[in-house]
Amino acid sequence: MSNPGLYEHPRARLVAGVDEVGRGPLAGPVVAAAVILDPASSIAGLADSKCLTETRREELAVEIRARALAWALGRAEVEEIDRINILQASLLAMQRAVQSLDPPPDYALIDGNRCPQLCCPAEAVIRGDASVAPISAASIIAKVARDEEMRAMDRCYPGYGLASHKGYPSKAHLEALQRLGVTPIHRRSFGPVRRLLATRDGPI
């Protein structure tokens, strides 16, 4: 895979890359990041966060936060995911991340095929996390932030293995749900959780 390129727009000075993580898990928030990289300070090794080791992601996250012109996180909570659905919650998290950038961007590049409503022009880039440097940077920042949060959740809700699977529907997670029940951080609109609640008196 070739290294992602630093996108340049002919009429935009500050271009933000935007990505989210956490669409698929049964537990925890969806977290988005927006990053404006500094064209004068390139960062080697940027890639889709899923293609990097945990250690390398964390190293790059430190470098991105130190060297980017701006970066910000946005999120949508479990209650919002259940109320408006995961797609709309993902767009909301990305919108919040972009709105938190200082300085604000002139243009935004969004990973995927949909753009949230933003105060600047935006373009959706399919597989942008693997091909566009600021989106790669955003994917790394978002992934590291969410993983850190899920490790903290693991301490609050031991026995589910959240530090390991980060809330995704692994075999161990599904077995823990059957054994221990549903917690406040589980997404009740997602099939495995919804079906389990339907067979029990309610969440723990």
User: pLDDT digit string (tens) for 118-148?
Assistant: 999 999 999 999 999 999 999 999 999 999 9
Over range 70-75, report the average pLDDT: 98
Two tokens at 28?
């925890």
Using N-to-C axis directions, what is the helix angle for 133-156 and 54-67, rounded to 10°? 120
pLDDT-derived band at 204, boundaries 50, 70, 90: very low
- Which are the contacts of 182, defined by CB distance < 8 A and separation ≥ 6? 188, 193, 196, 197, 200, 203, 204
Most confidently modeled range among 3-7, 128-132, 159-163: 159-163
Calpha distance 136→143 (Å, rounded): 11
pTM of the model: 0.92
Calpha distance 119→105 (Å, rounded): 9
Calpha distance 13→153 (Å, rounded): 39
Query: Does residue 83 sit in helix, strand or coil?
Result: helix
Domains of the chain: 15-155 (3.30.420.10)
Place of tokens 């600021």: 134
Look up residue 45 and give its amino acid: G
**Residue 201 pLDDT exceeds 60:** no
pLDDT-derived band at 4, boundaries 50, 70, 90: confident
Calpha distance 97→93 (Å, rounded): 6
pLDDT recorded at residue 200: 73
Answer whether 27's CB lies under 8 Å from 186's CB. Answer: yes
pLDDT recorded at residue 187: 98
**Residue 202 pLDDT exceeds 60:** no
Over range 159-174, report the average pLDDT: 97
**Residue 77 pLDDT exceeds 90:** yes
pLDDT recorded at residue 93: 98
**According to DSSP H, which parts of the chain are helical?**
54-67, 78-84, 86-99, 128-131, 133-156, 162-165, 171-180, 191-198
